[in-house]
Structure 1
């Protein structure tokens, strides 16, 4: 079929290209011949060309739909990531506020413990100081009494001893 069509077209081209004198009617024949050629070529090529163009259109539409699906997936992933980011920010701020609160509570706790330890140390120190003062007073009183009792020159009565002891202790 194609060979026959090609032969017909080739004959038409050969017939239109005769070397006669160009007349005014020659242009009409050539135009008709050209239109026939274009029609036959169109008839022969149009179906495969339409099929190729339809296939191309289908591929482009398919690729476009795939890209739109990918774009939609990317948008949803982006939205999910932004939501996750917001949740993470809220959790981070909550963690920071909890950490600050815990640090404040720990600081108060250790400050209170330090105060109680310092107060206890001061009280213990004061008790030791009082005991040491009492020991020193007792030692001075014992020493004075030993000196007084050891000495035979001094002969005092009880109120005098008490007065001397109070004076030595004071």
Structure 2
């Protein structure tokens, strides 16, 4: 307010320094006030409409921005919920995977034990079979040497008696 008052006083001081000339300040002031009064009266509706339109456009933009902000907040909250749900699902999947690993380990261990038992059994069977095979070969070799040796002469009846004693 002081600035405006200062701006109005400076021209008065400048014009007052010239001395007393015959100026028609009052009619000019009256014309000035009348001109701006008419101008204000004619342009007031246009200025009010422009001002109200500007206020409405600002309010509309503000509403749009607030709606976008609300939507963004809702999306953010939904994203947080989705992240929490994903974390819970990830934990569940980890637990399931750990259980699967433990189950697979147990099954593998059981299968390995069973395979080892089968291998040991097969080894024992094969060892027994090989032992019998070697025994048969040795017996066959000894018998063939015995029958082929001319110094040992056995009759068939004595041989049958010996075999019957061993078998029976």
Structures share fold, TM-score greater than 0.5: yes
User: What is the alpha-carbon distance in structure 2 between the residues aligned to residue 22 and residue 35 of structure 1?
Assistant: 23
Partner of 2:122: 124
Q: Does 1:63 pair with 2:61?
A: yes
Give the deviation of 1:141 after TM superposition.
2.9
Distance 1:115 1:80 in 2: 52
> 2 CA distance for matches of 1:22 and 1:34?
20
Shift of 1:27: 1.5
Determine the structure 2 residue equivalent to 1:6: none
2:8 alignment counterpart: none
**Would you say 1:140 and 2:160 are equivalent positions?**
no
Q: Per-residue deviation at 1:119? A: 1.9
Query: Displacement, 1:120?
Result: 0.4
Superposed displacement of residue 22, structure 1: 4.9
Deviations 1:95-144 (A, max 9, x none): 13312321231122123202211220121112111121122123323433
The equivalent of 2:43 in structure 1 is 45
1:86-165 aligned at under 5 Å gives the runs 86-148=84-146, 151=149, 153=151
Point out which structure has higher relative CO (alpha carbons under 8 A, 6+ apart). Answer: 1
RMSD: 2.7
CA-to-aligned-CA distance 1:139-168 (integer Å, 9 cap, x gap)? 32343345446656459xxxxx9xxx9xxx
- For 1:22 and 1:73, locate their aligned partners in 2 and report how far apart those are by CA, in whole Å: 72
Q: Partners of 1:62 and 1:151 in 2: how far apart?
A: 127
Q: Which residue of 2 aligns with 1:10?
A: none
Q: Normalising by the residue count of structure 2, what TM-score does the alignment of the two structures yield? A: 0.69
Residue aligning to 1:23: 22
Aligned residues: 137
Gaps of 5+ in 2: 1-19, 154-161
Aligned counterparts of 2:92 and 2:29: Cα–Cα separation in 1: 86
